[in-house]
Structure 1
Amino acid sequence: MTAFRVLVPQAVDEAGIAALTDAGLDVVQPPNADIETVRRVVRDCDAVLLRTVVLDAAVLAGAPRLKVIARHGVGVDNIDLAYCAARGIVVTNAPESNTVAVAEHTLALLLAVAKNLRAADRAVRAGEFAARHHLGGIELAGRTLGVIGLGRIGRLVAQRAEAGLGMRVRGHDPAATGPDVVGLPELLAASDVVSLHVPLTTGTAGFFGAAEFAALKPGAYLVNCSRGGVVDETALRTALDRGQLAGAALDVFATEPLPAAHPLASDPRVLLTPHMAAHTGESLARMAVDAANEIIAVSRGEQPRWPVPLPGRS
């Protein structure tokens, strides 16, 4: 009987690899994750434990044995879901694995941008201690945080901002209800800080653009730890220049890695981190193990715990 082979094109926590091998699966870890290597190796594999490699229809068409793609994390925008639906390839993710890590990173960015910590750190290192007299930030207690996207991460950010920072919270999500869930125009007009927690889909690509920035309370802040593609970065820069935004903190970008010549890369009003919100040791271990367990379930003919809904399938 042919062994159930799992392609792991990028490094994951050893706990995930151990789970696969302990279950008797054959793990394939190529020396690099360039697309030609992935295309060559995946043709003989039954599963992929996937991080950021893009699996489009052209790559998937060359993988006749493929039965399951288990995403190491939450977002599945690097997978051609329509093709998977047509082929009957199961797609899973790990929605509980990085909730705490991303929520904590969001709050860290929120505090850092509100307190002007990037500029303050740079000033101290440059011997400009007197910068303390003009680098004061704002207090967050009593201010309004608008959370767009009320999934696991958005809800946790809202809870901790309210309980830990004393912020008023308003949320927007077409799938959510409650006394603090409001329409997008109301949220934008009321928020001192907006935090984005939405997946990147055809419906959300570039959705936060010029009109949304114009609707913000003047001097607001934006934090984005979801996907870079949901924000129109040109409109963001314009909002900063016009004073509509006082600052922004971004962990994600439309193009990653962020090009060195990108206007946001040199803008002192923007705090940048390299798509690392989920990258705590604890979260990386959970993502690897959760993804591995989904593959193991499929290999045994069982239903995975977190199947991703595919186009045209209930």
Structure 2
Amino acid sequence: MNSRERVCIIDPIHPAGLERIASAHEVIDLHGPRADEASVLVIRTSPLGPEVFGSMRGLKAIVKHGAGVDNIAIPAASAQGVMVANTPGGNNASAVAEGAVSLMLGLLRRTRDMDALVRGGRWDERWGIRLGDLTGARVGLVGFGRIARQVARICGAGFGCEVLAHDPVVPDAEVRAEGVRPTDLAGVLACDIVSIHTPLTQGTRNLIDTLELALMQPHALLVNCSRGGIVNEAALAEALRAGQIAGAGIDVFAQEPPPGDHPLLGLPNCLLSPHVAGVTEAGMKDMALHVAAVIDTVSRGEVPATLLNPEVLP
């Protein structure tokens, strides 16, 4: 039998998802007098720990709008007997993949610089510029989950790229089945373009640091649409400043928003965006509706298919 959940939505979600949730459940305000009565929390990017949910004694589940859960204190939730589920895949995977490829193209075609030429009346400077090609490039993927596989399809089928991938938890046969060559991290770093698609964990924090950047080629580009913290941003800034690599496209930062004195902000060979690779109309709607579906699963007393802490189950 379905129960009517008391749902606290901490970060804004698409109206379609909000409407679906409100039609079957009660939506309560995190800052209202009944916040401690919440049975389900919905979270996007805000930090979420026991200082927020510790007093919610009837809390059943935390539902992440999206895939990455590094902002959620999962051990604290597990200690409280609270399920944590995310909403990976769907249109969001396609949206983030398109975002990563758009950064690749923006860097290769020097979109920001070309716009400045036109606006600055420097039209004839175009003859001294040679833009880059994604067609035929070697693209290396760090991680090979849903988003990386979509990037591989776009780059492989769409641009004729040779795609390589490194993911220690994905069997080589599974990588090859997608038309991608499995390799080690050094093999990925030797590519023309390196794109990050791994979650942020203790094992992947600063995965791309001074040593790894030194393995990249001088003409190479680094793209990160996964999570800040996977790339050591100070080391990246130094590599860009020294011409050790040609450019970087960064959608995510260790601290968001980045401080005004962040070393990447003043570099002309770094294309930046504010953690919006997956923020498309279709992607946001799909994830919000997925969140609503997970809440409905919880309300039926069932276990979400994307449960991340099964140790809380009886």
TM-score normalized by the length of structure 2 = 0.91
Alignment of 1:71 with 2:64, yes or no, is yes
Change (3 A) 1:175 1:121: same
Deviation, 1:217, is 1.9
The letter of the residue matching 2:76 is Y
Confirm or deny: 8 A CA contact 1:92 1:291 kept in the other structure.
no
Structure 2: where are the runs of 5+ without partners?
Answer: none
Confirm or deny: 8 A CA contact 1:110 1:249 kept in the other structure.
yes
- 1:100 is matched with which residue: 68, 86, 94? 94
Residues 1-314 of structure 1 mapped to structure 2, 5 A cutoff: 3-23=4-24, 25-29=25-29, 37=31, 42-97=35-90, 98-176=92-170, 177-178=172-173, 179=176, 180-189=181-190, 191-309=191-309
Please give the alpha-carbon distance, in whole angstroms, between the structure 2 residues aligned to 1:313 and 1:162: 42
3-state SS of 2:246 partner: strand
Please give the alpha-carbon distance, in whole angstroms, between the structure 2 residues aligned to 1:162 and 1:121: 28
Please give the alpha-carbon distance, in whole angstroms, between the structure 1 residues aligned to 2:95 and 2:222: 19
Confirm or deny: 8 A CA contact 2:49 2:72 kept in the other structure.
yes
Cα displacement string for residues 39-75 of structure 1 (whole angstroms, at most 9, x for unaligned residues)? x754220001111221112222121111101111111
Percent same amino acid at aligned positions?
A: 38
Deviation, 1:310, is 5.9
Please give the alpha-carbon distance, in whole angstroms, between the structure 1 residues aligned to 2:272 and 2:304: 36
Confirm or deny: 8 A CA contact 1:44 1:63 kept in the other structure.
yes
Please give the alpha-carbon distance, in whole angstroms, between the structure 2 residues aligned to 1:242 and 1:313: 52
The letter of the residue matching 1:280 is T
3-state SS of 1:48 partner: strand
3-state SS of 2:308 partner: coil
Please give the alpha-carbon distance, in whole angstroms, between the structure 2 residues aligned to 1:211 and 1:136: 29
Confirm or deny: 8 A CA contact 2:42 2:62 kept in the other structure.
yes
Deviation, 1:254, is 1.0
Larger mean CA deviation between 178-187 and 110-119 belongs to 178-187
Please give the alpha-carbon distance, in whole angstroms, between the structure 1 residues aligned to 2:129 and 2:259: 28
Cα displacement string for residues 148-203 of structure 1 (whole angstroms, at most 9, x for unaligned residues)? 110000011011101111111110000121341101112212x0000000111111
3-state SS of 2:265 partner: helix
Change (3 A) 1:255 1:135: farther
Deviation, 1:283, is 0.7
The letter of the residue matching 1:26 is E
Partner of 1:33: none
Cα displacement string for residues 111-150 of structure 1 (whole angstroms, at most 9, x for unaligned residues)? 1101111111122111111231233221222221001110
Q: Structure 1 runs of 4+ off > 3 angstroms?
A: 309-314
Aligned residue pairs, count:
305
Confirm or deny: 8 A CA contact 1:82 1:310 kept in the other structure.
no
Confirm or deny: 8 A CA contact 2:197 2:224 kept in the other structure.
yes
Confirm or deny: 8 A CA contact 1:42 1:62 kept in the other structure.
no
Cα displacement string for residues 226-250 of structure 1 (whole angstroms, at most 9, x for unaligned residues)? 0011110011011112222100011
